[in-house]
Amino acid sequence: MRLRIASFVIVSALAAPLGFAGGRVQSLEVRILSTMLTADDGIGEWGFSALVIADGHRILVDTGAYPDTVLRNSRELKVDLANVPDVVLTHNHADHTGGFLTLRREYAKTNPGALARAYVATGIFLPRIRKDGGVITRMTGLKSEYESTGGTVIEYSDPRELFPGVWLTGPVPRKYPERNWSGNGRLRNAAGEIVEDNIPEDQSVIIDTDRGLVVITGCGHAGIVNICDYARSRVRNAPIHAILGGIHLYEASDETLAWTGEKLKAFGVQNLLGAHCTGIEAVYRLRTLLGLARPTAAVGAVGGGFTLSKGLDPGSISR
C-alpha cells in the first residue's frame, strides 16, 4: 500500500512486510568503504559506509560523510555500486548520510535501480532542535531530493527480514543504560515534546548464519549491548559471531569498556572489526576483555572487511 502525504511517498511497512520467512545466510562479504583509516587504497574520513553481500544480495550500509568519499573509494577499490539496489541508513547523522544523494544520482545514470530503495527506521525524520531554538529538518529535505530521483524510502518501526537471514533491527529498545552518543542534542518527538536526542532511530543490520549472528552497525548509538541483546531476542538466540562497524566507544571510560566487554563475552562474540567511532584504544581493550587475538579483533580500515569463510581482513595498516 502506498500512502501519499504532501509530496512524499511512504511505503507502509505495516501494510506490506518487507521480508521473507526463515533461512540463514551461507555466504557473506562485508567491505568497508568509509572510515578514518585506509588499508591500501582510498581516502579516510570521519564517517562510515560498508558494502554487504549476503547470498548474492547487495546492500550498502550508510554512505559516508563527504558527498564523494564513498564514490571515490569504491572506484579506487574497484567496487561497483551500480548493481546495488538497496541502501540502509542507520541514523540521521551527516557522517552516515553525506554521500546518499551523490551515490544515487551517479549510479542511476547507468542503472535506474541502483540504490533505489532506502531503508530507515522510525524517528529519523523527527525535527532536531538547535541550541538557539531553530529547527533542523535536513533529513526531510534529503528524503524529498532522493524521491525526486525516483528512489523509494521505506520506513518501519519493528525488525524486518529483508532477505532470508538478513534483518534490520529497526529502533532498538534501550534495555541497558548505555549512553553511546555524544553531545546533548534535542529533538521534537511524535507528541510534540522537546526531549533529549538519544538518536531513537538508530538501527543495525543482523545477518543470521550457521555460526551465529553477525551484527553490522553504523555507530551503535543504541548501545552495542542493547543491539546484541535485541538481535538475540528478535532474530535468533544464538552467539554473536561477529560485530562489524562503529560502536561509539571512543570516549568510553575504563569502567564502561569493562562492563561492555563482560556483556559481549557472555554473548559469545568471536570476531570484532571496530571502525569509525569505536575508537582504536577501545578495540584493543575489547580484544583483551573478550579473549580475542589479532586475527579476530582489529581496527577497521577502508578496503578492509570480513567474510564468513575467512573471517577478518582488516587491511595491512591494522592487521
Q: What is the predicted pLDDT for the residue at 40? A: 74
- 1, part of any domain: no
Nearest to 50 by CA among 21, 73, 27: 73
Kindly report the number of other CB atoms within 10 A of residue 314's CB atom: 25
pLDDT in tens, 40-69: 789 999 999 999 999 999 999 999 999 999
- 161, part of any domain: yes
For residues 113 and 75, give the distance between their C-alpha atoms in angstroms, rounded to a whole number.
19
Q: What is the predicted pLDDT for the residue at 18? A: 37
What CATH number corresponds to the domain at position 27? Answer: 3.60.15.10
Give the residue carrying C-alpha cell 552516515: 96
pLDDT in tens, 159-184: 999 999 999 999 999 999 999 999 88
Contacts of 35 (CB under 8 A, 6+ apart): 44, 45, 47, 48, 246, 275, 276, 300, 301, 302
Give the residue carrying C-alpha cell 571496530: 274
- 315, part of any domain: no
Q: What is the pTM of this model?
A: 0.92
- 319, part of any domain: no
Please say whether the beta carbons of 211 and 308 come within 8 A. Answer: yes
Q: What is the DSSP letter of 288?
A: H
- 160, part of any domain: yes
Q: What is the predicted pLDDT for the residue at 13? A: 38
- 313, part of any domain: no
Nearest to 220 by CA among 266, 264, 166: 264
b/e map 254-271, b = 16+ CB within 10 Å: eeebebbbebbeebebbb
Amino acid at 26: Q
Q: In what order do the strands lie in the sheet with 135-136?
A: 135-136, 128-129, 186-188, 194-196
Nearest to 95 by CA among 159, 182, 206, 154: 182
Integer-rounded Cα radius of gyration of the chain: 18
Q: What is the predicted pLDDT for the residue at 173? A: 98
pLDDT in tens, 118-141: 999 999 999 999 989 999 999 999
Identify the domain containing residue 274 by its residue range.
8-13+23-307
Domains: count for the chain: 1
- 312, part of any domain: no
Q: What is the predicted pLDDT for the residue at 22? A: 59
For residues 16 and 313, give the distance between their C-alpha atoms in angstroms, rounded to a whole number.
38
Flag residues of the chain having pLDDT under 70: 1-22
- 314, part of any domain: no
